[in-house]
Structure 1
Amino acid sequence: MHSTARRPSLSDAISGIDRSAPARGTAPRRDTGRAVTSRAVWLGAAGLAATLVIWWVATHAMTAPGSLGRQFAPDSAFASLPSLFSEDHLAEHALVSLRRVGTGLGLALLVGVPLGILIGRVQSLEHTLSPTFQFLRMVSPLSWMPLAVMSFGIGDRAIYFLLGFAALWPVLMSTAAGVAQIDRRWLRLGESLTATRRELLLHIILPAIAGPLLNGIRLAIGILWIVLVPAEMLGVSAGLGYLILDTRDRLAYSELTAVILVIGALGFALDGIARLLARALLRSDR
């Protein structure tokens, strides 16, 4: 009887390699890592507390009680937060802004990841498109506001265009850099196993670029959050940027300062989530 041996697939070959085995001569340092992380958290919290104290001292020392400048003090801002949540529906405005940021990031991923993979794989294409992309990357996304309004009108579509354009470049560049840094021996292994392009993409390229891509997403979130507020001043009736304009027009400067604090807190939280995802992925690859 003749037995036919099954050709090993690319996933079988990759799964057979033990990536989790520790290097020789190295000992686990989990406890040390936890101590460093705990210390960093406490130092960061102390830094934030010191910043609030300095802010409070500066505003109270430079302004008189009941003056306009006193409304920019941190205690005035925190005191106005309950009214913002109840009367101005701050949570709803924040959700609208988060939805716009998510849509802009999704558009950037939809365009930037495939294009970045293509540029990273085809060197002639990189040489052809790199000068154009570097030129466009240096143009402020807010410079496109008149064109966005003329093309898409006032509303969400113009904001999506501006946010997607702003987030595209860190996503595209990090993806292309991640593809360029892939060990060619992995690609040759896949080709020796007659892997299809889809198998190379799923089992080698995407896992290899996950770390750089998450770092690019983190950079994109920071840019998105900066561009969001002025972009939401394009005649929309909801969002944190709209709320900034609304509180300014009502001369409610304590509420305006509170909105600024909320914008900073949400941006900080989004960056922290992206950072945790990147760290978790790097740990899983060890």
Structure 2
Amino acid sequence: MNKVMMPDWKYHSYGLAGLFGFFCLWFIAGTYIPEGFFQQFTLNATLMKFFILIQDSETYIHIWMSIKRVLVGLGIALLIGIPVGLLIGQNQKADAFSSQIFQFLRMISPLSWMPIAVMILGVGDKPVYFLLAFAAVWPIILNTANGVKKVDPQLLKLAYSLDATSREILQKIIWPSVLGQVLVGLRLAIGIVWIVLVPSEMLGVSSGLGYFILDARDRLDYTELLSIILIIGFIGFILDRFVIGLQKRFAV
């Protein structure tokens, strides 16, 4: 049976309806919460604090520091992951040699490296960069390698028959063919990094959304804490939409 694809506008309208429904349920649940501590978690209280926070310049300092760390971590992961993925995708021996090592390492939670990262790199941004890069590199490596393996062998044979150089084959055939898979890996990496970011920013840094949450918790301001969680969710959503846009623009 052929599956009929839903038009984009209709798909997105369902998504908006689902999001609206979620906030409606949150609002309704809040009307049944009795006076007291849990009133801090109602939608009205959270949104009021949310709008206060987005008017505060300090909030944007925390947002920028978190985004900067994410960009550095992703940049390191891309610089390592793409070349490694291209190598193991083209070389069966390299793939066989590294596959079990990579599978072993990627199953280790990045957060389990926190004590070692702090011990070696000290407190501050460096251990955060390491943890984010470690979290992001595996989907980039594996998706890049998978993209190389899916390159049409007939195109490669044709290129070799025309005496194309390795650089020309990489630029004209392999890279355009794997770009879509690289972007898939990048999207997965952003999702993982954005989750790892918050606990990573509790490693002795004095800014960032993770630190912001820790500070709100220490002040027992749980409405602000929940508002920061909303901000984290919105930024992560925007980053994901950005990569989807890149996929639509560049994927072949």
Q: TM-score, normalised by structure 2?
A: 0.95
Q: Find out whether 1:153 has 2:118 as its counterpart.
A: no
- RMSD between aligned residues: 1.5
8 A contact 1:156–1:236 mirrored in 2: yes
Distance 2:96 2:82 in 1: 18
Partners of 1:88 and 1:76 in 2: CA distance = 21
Structure 2 counterpart of 1:8: none
Equivalent residue for 1:39?
A: 10
Q: 1:88 Cα shift?
A: 6.7
1:108 paired residue number: 77
Deviations 1:75-133 (A, max 9, x none): 11110124323457111111111111111111110000000000001101111110010
Other-structure match for 1:240? 209
Corresponding residue to 1:56 among 27, 43, 47? 27
Pick one of 89, 99, 106 that aligns with 1:137: 106
Matches within 5 A, 1:75-224: 75-87=44-56, 89-224=58-193
CA displacement, residues 208-252 of structure 1 (integer Å, 9 cap, x when unaligned): 100111111000000000000000011100000000001111111
* Distance apart, 1:279 and its partner CA: 1.9
Q: Distance in 2 between matches of 1:75 and 1:206?
A: 49
Q: Find the aligned partners of 2:26 and 2:118 in 1 and give their Cα distance.
A: 38
Cα distance in 1, alignment partners of residues 59 and 47 from structure 2: 13
1:186-210 CA-partner distances (Å, limit 9, x unpaired): 1112212212111111111110100
The equivalent position to 1:280 in structure 2, one of 243, 249, 252, is 249
How far 1:281 moved relative to its partner?
A: 2.4
Q: What is the identity, as a one-letter code, of the residue corresponding to 1:101?
A: V
Distance 2:195 2:95 in 1: 29
- Structure 1: which 5+ residue stretches go unaligned? 1-31
What secondary structure, in the 3-state scheme, does the structure 2 residue paired with 1:89 have? helix
SS in 1 for 2:220: coil
Amino acid in the other structure paired with 2:120: S
Count residues in correspondence. Answer: 249
- Contact 1:170–1:216 (Cα < 8 Å) also in 2: yes
Could you tell me the percent identity over the aligned residues? 47
Structure 1 stretches of 4+ with a deviation exceeding 3 A read: 85-88
Cα distance between partner residues in 1 of 2:77 and 2:68: 14
**8 Å contact kept, 1:232–1:242:** yes
SS in 1 for 2:54: helix
In terms of mean alpha carbon deviation, does 84-93 or 142-151 score higher? 84-93
Deviations 1:28-72 (A, max 9, x none): xxxx98x711111111111001101111222331x223x221111
Distance 2:63 2:151 in 1: 39
Task: Report the structure number with the largest CA radius of gyration.
Answer: 1
Q: Secondary structure at the match of 2:151?
A: coil
1:123-176 deviation digits (Å, cap 9, x = unpaired):
011111100100001000000001110111111010000000000000000000
